[in-house]
Amino acid sequence: MAYIAAIDGEEYRIDITEVSGENLFILTVGEKKYNIDVVHSEHSLYSMLLDGKSYEIDLDAKDGICNILVNGEHYSVNVINEKKKALWKKSRETETEGKQSIITEMPGKVVKIFAEVGKQVKRGQGMIVVEAMKMENELKSPKDGKVIEINVKEGETVEGGTTLVVIE
């Protein structure tokens, strides 16, 4: 999967490809490729082997902001996948009309629902939080409007492509 990571105002394209075999990935940052072996050891702790060196990583991610502690050094990274970036850019260029659905891109667990059927919402207002790949993602309203459907419950596991909330 491809992502855009913003670090200190500079954007980097990052591709992560799983290799046959457990915990093995090819990480591509720009033109550079790295073979990595990652093991999730505890709640937010990971152990990674990169070019024969071992790294302990503490990852705390919320709302697309990843606070990463690597061997004692702190990094703050804003991460968004390419599809979401393109949609975000397009949504900024045009007004959204008609019914709009909030759809999860990947499988995950519904952690929190802020939306209520019949309630008015504003564009950019948080509607629902879905945890996927140990990261909590707050999905926001694409427009001003009224919530007309909530198709999930807190604690429910959902597949990618599931319509979570509909706004009119």
- Structural domains of the chain ordered from first start: 2-81 (3.30.700.30), 95-167 (2.40.50.100)
pTM as predicted: 0.47
What's the mean per-residue pLDDT of the chain?
Answer: 84
What is the predicted pLDDT for the residue at 84?
60
Handedness of CA 53, 37, 110, 161 (dihedral sign): positive
137 vs 104: CA distance, rounded Å = 10
Amino acid at site 17: T
* The pLDDT of residue 107 is above 60: yes
* The pLDDT of residue 150 is above 70: yes
- Terminal CA-CA length for the chain: 31
What is the predicted pLDDT for the residue at 92?
52
In 3-state terms, what secondary structure has residue 28?
strand
Where are the extended beta strands (E) located within the chain?
A: 2-7, 10-18, 24-29, 32-40, 45-50, 53-62, 65-70, 73-81, 100-103, 108-113, 120-121, 126-132, 135-140, 145-150, 157-158, 163-167
Which one has a higher pLDDT value, 40 or 147? 147
pLDDT band at 129 (very low <50, low <70, confident <90, very high): very high
